[in-house]
Amino acid sequence: MSMYREGYDYYVNKCMEFDIEPINFYYYISHLTKEQLDHFNKQADILKG
């Protein structure tokens, strides 16, 4: 599950930008599809450069 941590951090930052309360990591992992999780990870990688 740690492989999705950077994507989760990206998700939390986006939620904060829009003043939305993020879901916790457990729900993030268990309720998003693999495709959604991979998208957040990809965006986090792009930001890291």
Query: If you average pLDDT over every residue of the chain, what do you get?
Result: 94
**pLDDT at residue number 10:** 94
Sign of CA dihedral 12, 10, 24, 29: positive
Query: What gap in Å lies between CA 37 and CA 29, rounded to an integer?
Result: 8
15 backbone dihedrals φ, ψ, rounded to 5°: -60, -45
pLDDT at 1: 67
CA dihedral 22, 12, 38, 27 (to 10 degrees): -30
pLDDT tens digits, one per residue of 3-46: 899 999 999 999 999 999 999 999 999 999 999 999 999 999 99
Cα–Cα distance for residue pair 46/27, rounded to 1 Å? 24
